[in-house]
Structure 1
Amino acid sequence: MSSNQSLKRGAPEMHPENAPVKRVKLDKIYRLMSLYKKLGAEIKKIDDREISFSDDYDDIEESRVLQRHRKLSQKRVAIYEYLAKRGVLVDEKNRLL
Structure 2
Amino acid sequence: MPKINLSRNHSLEPAVIKERIATLGAKLQEKYQAKTSWADDRTLNVKGTGVEGKLIISESKVDVNLDLGFMLTPLKGKIEETLNKELEKLTAAS
- Normalising to structure 2: TM-score of the pair? 0.30
- Normalising to structure 1: TM-score of the pair? 0.29
* Structure with the larger strand share: 2
Larger radius of gyration: 1
* Structure with the larger helix share: 1
